[in-house]
Amino acid sequence: MPNPEGRGRASRTKPPAPRRLVVTAGPTRERIDPVRYLSNDSSGKMGFEIARAAAERGDQVILIAGPVDQKTPPGVIRVDVESARDMLGAVKTAFLGSESRAKGSFGKKGGDALFMAAAVGDWRPKRRLSGKWRAKDGGDEVASLELVKNPDILATVGRRKGSRLVVGFALETGSGLKRAMAKLNRKSADFIVLNNETALGANRTTVAILGKDGSRVNITNKTKRDVARALVQLHYSNSAPAE
Ligand code: C5P
């Protein structure tokens, strides 16, 4: 026989309120000329799994993706970008808020959490050539390309985040723990997810989630889908939904 008390208890357990999440994924491309660019290795899998995990929980998700070969998860709004500067503009619009009602915007209120999983290029060529960069026959054996620093997206929006949740990633070769911890402060992030190059393109990953409060959670050899679910959970336990 059904237990009415049990039913009553179940109905009192309210699901968490949906949040507005901004997720970045994939590499950026910095054009040298119409057919060449500088980029990073990144499949985009981790960011796409975070977007999927959040959408499955009922969150509204804007996924800002560099050039990747990944299917958009159901219910996720995807904005495709190419360069770091394009990505910065899209993150500001989605996370910090904008008057725009366009596809990649939550309106003036912006997002209430940012997961910055993209592998953003640190440098871009100072000049973009309008025609192909040609090697001259019998010319020099050495050429150089002048580079300028790209904006740090996480640090830029992190400074203006207020109480909203910001999670960054750090891909370090070797242990990298100290460097990842330094990024927590430098980029005003609440958490940095430390991983290494074995994660590139893989389905499984090992991460350490470092909190600005000194916390550290290790997740060893799990699928990116499982790690994504754990990361999305951070956002329910650490930030109040913005109005
Ligand atoms: O300094 P590093 O590139 O290791 O920092 C990684 C974190 O910072 C990632 O979350 C990445 O998305 C973000 N980042 C950024 N803008 C950059 C470089 C990295 O937002 N120009």
What CATH number does residue 206 fall under?
Answer: 3.40.50.10300
Tokens encoding 184: 């927590």
pLDDT higher than 80, residue 136: no
Centre of ligand 1 from the C-alpha of residue 45, in Å: 16
At 199 the pLDDT is 78
At 237 the pLDDT is 75
Is residue 134 included in any domain, yes or no? Answer: no
pLDDT category, 240, cuts 50, 70, 90? very low
At 239 the pLDDT is 46
Give me the mean pLDDT over the 20-43 stretch: 96
pLDDT category, 97, cuts 50, 70, 90? very high
Is residue 141 included in any domain, yes or no? Answer: no
CB atoms within 10 A of CB 236: 15
Is residue 36 included in any domain, yes or no? Answer: yes
- Determine whether 40 is an active site residue: yes
Q: What is the DSSP letter of 93?
A: I
Q: Is any atom of ligand 1 closer than 6 Å to the C-beta of 169?
A: yes
pLDDT category, 14, cuts 50, 70, 90? low
Is residue 130 included in any domain, yes or no? Answer: no
pLDDT higher than 90, residue 141: no
Tokens encoding 242: 């913005």
Is residue 131 included in any domain, yes or no? Answer: no
Is residue 125 included in any domain, yes or no? Answer: no
pLDDT category, 196, cuts 50, 70, 90? confident
**Which atom from ligand 1 is nearest to the alpha carbon of 151?**
21
Is residue 139 included in any domain, yes or no? Answer: no
Tokens 């005003």, located at residue: 188
At 115 the pLDDT is 97
**Structural domain span for residue 116:** 18-120+146-238
- Name the closest-CA residue to atom 6, ligand 1: 170
pLDDT higher than 60, residue 20: yes
- Name the closest-CA residue to atom 19, ligand 1: 120
Domain count, the chain: 1
Look up the pTM and report it: 0.90
